[in-house]
């Protein structure tokens, strides 16, 4: 019989992977819970001696799923992977430590991708945001975005109703409104964009 059993899931609240280890005894006693650092989610394992009833916070769909698994399978060295029934994607893994860690690593990458998609969906209905971003792409394509500090490295941060261009060298920031038709008109008549230098950011280097 295996002594320690690893378990892990992705916290739907903060997106981090939560991994822990409990003894087989804790599992059979029904006290093998696992709480995320952020305190917002908890994997609960209850036991009736033969089965474990798991309540798993799902980092894939943001909901919570329950599953009933045979306790023996875990105690005898097997691993169990649970999938989100909504999205048919792995959301929890219990068993051998190496397998759980590997599964969680994959899972976190997948969850981050999904989050990215969700954000895109959020802005997809904002026609203005879409137009602003494609306009920025055009300006960037003709190398028209630079910082007053001389750097041409920058990143784009999308906010609700605005886009920030942030200089990669000095941290200077140019906010571009992305909420109204005027915002779009204003951007369309710009051939180049200059991020104001952040003098404090430069001194730090
Ligand atoms: Zn969390
Ligand atoms: Zn789910
Ligand atoms: Zn700069």
CA of 163 from ligand 3 middle (Å) equals 17
Indicate the SS3 state at residue 171: coil
pLDDT at 204: 47
Domain end call among 62, 94, 122 = 122
Q: Which ligand is nearest to the CA of 67?
A: 2
**Gap from CA of 70 to ligand 3 centroid (Å):** 59
Look up residue 186 and give its two tokens.
Answer: 């204003």
pTM, 2 dp: 0.56
Neighbours of ion ligand 3 (CB under 5 A): 147, 149, 151, 167, 169-170, 172
Which residues lie closer than 8 Å to 125 by C-beta, 6 or more apart?
Answer: none
Residues of the chain with pLDDT under 50: 124-125, 204-205
Q: How many CA atoms lie within 13 A of 39 on its CB side?
A: 0
Ligand 2 centroid distance, CA of 121 (Å): 18
Instruction: Residue 31: give the domain boundaries.
Output: 4-122
Q: What is the DSSP letter of 79?
A: -
Question: How many whole angstroms separate alpha carbon 64 and alpha carbon 142?
Answer: 48
Residue 110 to residues 8, 16, 122: CA-CA distances in angstroms?
15, 12, 18
- Residues 84 and 14 occupy one common structural domain: yes
What is the number of structural domains in the chain? Answer: 2
């Amino acid at each position: 019989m295996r002594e320690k059993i690893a378990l892990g899931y992705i916290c739907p609240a903060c997106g981090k992977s939560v991994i822990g280890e409990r003894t087989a005894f804790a599992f059979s006693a029904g006290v093998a819970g696992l709480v995320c650092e952020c305190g917002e989610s908890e994997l609960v394992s209850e036991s009736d001696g033969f089965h474990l009833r798991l309540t798993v916070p799902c980092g894939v769909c943001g909901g919570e799923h329950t599953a009933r698994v045979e306790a023996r399978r875990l105690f005898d060295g097997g691993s169990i992977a649970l999938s989100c029934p909504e999205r048919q994607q792995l959301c929890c893994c219990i068993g051998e430590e190496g397998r759980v860690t590997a599964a969680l690593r994959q899972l976190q990458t997948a969850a981050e991708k999904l989050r990215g998609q969700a954000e895109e969906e959020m802005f997809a209905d904002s026609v203005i945001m879409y137009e602003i971003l494609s306009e920025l792409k055009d300006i960037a394509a003709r190398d028209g975005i630079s910082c007053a500090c001389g750097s041409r490295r920058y990143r784009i941060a999308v906010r609700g109703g605005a886009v920030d261009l942030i200089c990669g060298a000095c941290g200077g920031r140019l906010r571009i409104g992305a909420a109204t038709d005027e915002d779009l008109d204003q951007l369309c008549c710009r051939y180049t964009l200059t991020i104001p230098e952040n003098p404090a950011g430069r001194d730090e280097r």
